[in-house]
Amino acid sequence: MRKLFLTGVISILTFFYAMSQQLAFPTAEGYGKYTVGGRGGSVFEVANLNDSGEGSLRAALEAKGPRTVVFRVSGTITGNFSIKNDSITIAGQSAPGDGICIKGNLSTDADNIIIRYIRVRFDPSTGENDGIGGRYHKNIIFDHISASWSTDETMTLYHNENTTVQWCIIAQACPKGSSDDHRFGGIWGNKYGSWHHNLFAHNASRNPRWASGSGFNDYRNNVIYNWEYASSYGGEAHQKGDRRNPPIEHSTINMIANYYKPGPATDSKVRSCIVDPSSRDEDADAGKWWVSENIVDGYPKVTDNNLLGVTKTSAAYKLNQPWPAMEINQQTAEEAYKAVLKYAGCSLPTRDKVDADIIDDVLHGTAKYGNKGIIDIPSDVGGWPELKSSPAPIDTDHDGMPDYWEIKNKLDKQNPDDRNVVASDGYTMLEKYLNNIN
């Protein structure tokens, strides 16, 4: 009996270990790639565009327990939202029609979060706020998110642990209040953070700003276009008033194989700048940097010798070699440039006009809107596009999987529990459906 009991315990532990090492989805990479999200939990259907109530996005976000959010409607949802309970997967790719946009902001105030294929386009008329992001949490992955028009930072994610931001667009930040400042891309830097295949475009600065006390961060295969007065800076070793216990007393950052393309708004003094490392106490507060394989469009000497694009290169700031980050499917900077323009942002179910215009600007080196691409308000670019909805596929048991797919995969369209059957590849059947939407 004791042997059987131990065998059972070992089997259970083996199962949970395997689940913990399962990729969040097949294309997940970097330090957030093992995030579990809502795997094995309940399903919440977003059936309307209301701010709150049954069938709303808010009801799904505020629920407790592991959960996957699927959409039975497309369109724009107005409001500011917060994820305060752990273990959630938001599957924006499930929306029928043109997809989902949040007209407001989304804060991640919990652990174990997977967010894919949504737009977060802030409304500056409601005040000052970030577009999307959060602090002091762990196991988070953002994939194919389009964020814009924030009056603070458009996508900020720092002082977290085990995170990935991949294939996102962070663009067209707006000024704070009546002032002409801010228009910032984001503050990034986590205890083991991966940042790859993202696009920063038409932001004045912070593309990104590296947080003080960032920890180990790996930033590669990103595209940065038309920054105004600063591309990337920051990365001090120490954060004053650090709430983490223990605090992180270093910033160690790889910046590898990114593509920098100055645009019409880029000041002549910073057109060839890759990064401007910061320090509040000279060498004593210096972060450590490895900067290599980056392309600076129009500046072949900086492309050949990246240190010419770094403002501080003394020994206090330099790594002798890149820190050994978790590998991704790295491309050359030129390959990444092409891939990001083709695939980044909320590209499922379809790209909206805002993203399409941004991509076109990057591709052609232009700036259609605002002051050389730097905007004041969303109406400068036409505002929030109309996102049309289509009829959602029939889902008799409301388990997130349409009837046609359940029949095709020999499941029971009247048994909602089969969504959590684990297939041979380690994904639940619900995950397999969501992972195969294209």
- CATH, residue 239: 2.160.20
Number of neighbours of residue 246 by Cβ within 10 angstroms: 6
Q: How far is CA 173 from CA 182, 380, 385, 405, in A?
A: 8, 12, 17, 40
> Alpha-carbon distance 215 to 298, whole Å?
32
Q: Are the CB atoms for 46 and 69 separated by under 8 Å?
A: yes
Same domain, 357 and 423: no
Same domain, 360 and 424: no
Crossing angle of the two packed helices 353-364 and 333-343, in degrees rounded to 10: 150
Same domain, 105 and 211: yes
pLDDT tens per residue across all 438 residues of the chain:
343 333 333 433 444 444 558 999 999 999 999 999 999 999 999 999 999 999 999 999 999 999 999 999 999 999 999 999 999 999 999 999 999 999 999 999 999 999 999 999 999 999 999 999 999 999 999 999 999 999 999 999 999 999 999 999 999 999 987 667 789 999 999 999 999 999 999 999 999 999 999 999 999 999 999 999 999 999 999 998 888 999 999 999 999 999 999 999 999 999 999 999 999 988 899 999 999 999 999 999 999 999 999 999 999 999 999 999 999 999 999 999 999 999 999 999 999 999 999 999 999 999 999 999 999 999 999 999 999 999 999 999 999 999 999 999 999 999 999 999 999 999 999 999 999 998
Query: What is the pLDDT, as a whole number, of residue 27?
Result: 98
Same domain, 415 and 344: no
- Is 48 among the domain residues? no
- Is 45 among the domain residues? no
Q: How far is CA 35 from CA 66, 87, 89, 317, in A?
A: 12, 9, 10, 32
> Alpha-carbon distance 366 to 380, whole Å?
15
> How many domains does the chain contain in total?
2
- Is 34 among the domain residues? no
**The dihedral sign for the CA sequence 322, 328, 331, 337:** negative
Q: Which two tokens stand for residue 213?
A: 């006390």
> Alpha-carbon distance 303 to 145, whole Å?
29
Query: What is the pLDDT, as a whole number, of residue 176?
Result: 84
Same domain, 130 and 191: yes
Same domain, 361 and 411: no
- Is 37 among the domain residues? no
- Is 351 among the domain residues? yes
Query: What is the pLDDT, as a whole number, of residue 10?
Result: 40
- β-strand partners of 199: 169, 223
Mapped onto helix, strand or coil, the DSSP state of residue 14 is helix
Query: What is the pLDDT, as a whole number, of residue 177?
Result: 73
Strand (E) or helix (H) holding 116: strand 113-116
The predicted model scores a pTM of 0.94
Same domain, 320 and 416: no
Q: Are the CB atoms for 312 and 299 separated by under 8 Å?
A: no
Same domain, 412 and 366: no
- β-strand partners of 134: 157
- Active site members: 206
Same domain, 203 and 316: yes
> Alpha-carbon distance 158 to 135, whole Å?
5
- Is 191 among the domain residues? yes
- Is 243 among the domain residues? yes
> Alpha-carbon distance 43 to 23, whole Å?
20
- Is 160 among the domain residues? yes
Same domain, 186 and 314: yes
By CB atoms closer than 10 A (0-12, 13-18, 19+), residue 395 is: buried
Same domain, 309 and 422: no
Q: Which two tokens stand for residue 1?
A: 């009996």
Query: For residue 427, what are the domain limits?
Result: 403-436
Q: Are the CB atoms for 203 and 170 separated by under 8 Å?
A: yes
Look up residue 213 and give its DSSP letter. Answer: T
Same domain, 274 and 314: yes
Strand (E) or helix (H) holding 119: strand 119-121
